Amino acid sequence: MGAAVEELLRFLTISHLGASRWALEDVEFAGQTIRKGEVVTVALPAVNRDPERYENPDQLDIGRTDHGHLGLGHGIHQFLGQHLARTILRVGFEALFDRFPTLRLAVPADEVPMRDDCVHYGPRSLRVTWDD
């Protein structure tokens, strides 16, 4: 379940924007010059789907072992509650699937309405079904 949680955090990056930073000096990055004083903001979903970093980055693979995503930040800007968040997700999913082993989407995945108009990403609603 731990690998599945990490893959979900990578694939469905909850916060779209990383922290903004101001360039302290002119720097060349990926063929672009960032001038001293300019603001740089990282788009976390783009970073977590980088094809140079991940094989098949647009594919959800809960067996993926190549973690290292930025879904919960990085360095001194990592989410302080990251260990609790991971534990809640792991324990919650284990309990949910133990209780409802046949739980599945009630609609095709591409029909799940997503919140994409705010800072935090996720489903607006999630219709599911299971067998008794």
Tens of pLDDT, residue by residue over 51-86, are: 999 999 999 999 998 888 988 888 887 889 999 999
What's the pLDDT at 113? 94
Nearest to 107 by CA among 131, 132, 126, 130: 126
**Residue 42, class by beta-carbon neighbours within 10 Å (0-12 exposed, 13-18 middle, 19+ buried)?**
middle
Q: What is the mean pLDDT of the chain?
A: 91
- The label of the residue with tokens 């909850």 reads 14
Task: Report the alpha-carbon distance of residue 57 to residue 88 in Å, rounded.
Answer: 25
Residue whose structure tokens are 């990085």: 74
Query: Residue 87: its pLDDT value, please?
Result: 97
Using CB atoms within 10 Å of the CB of residue 79, give its burial: 0 to 12 exposed, 13 to 18 middle, 19+ buried: middle
Please state the φ and ψ torsions of residue 114, each to the nearest 5 degrees: -105, 145
Nearest-angstrom CA–CA distance, 68 and 57: 13
> 44 with 16: CB under 8 angstroms?
yes
| Among 76, 88, 118, 94, residue whose Cα is nearest residue 9 | 88
Which stretch of 110-114, 119-123, 128-132 has the lowest confidence by average pLDDT?
Answer: 119-123
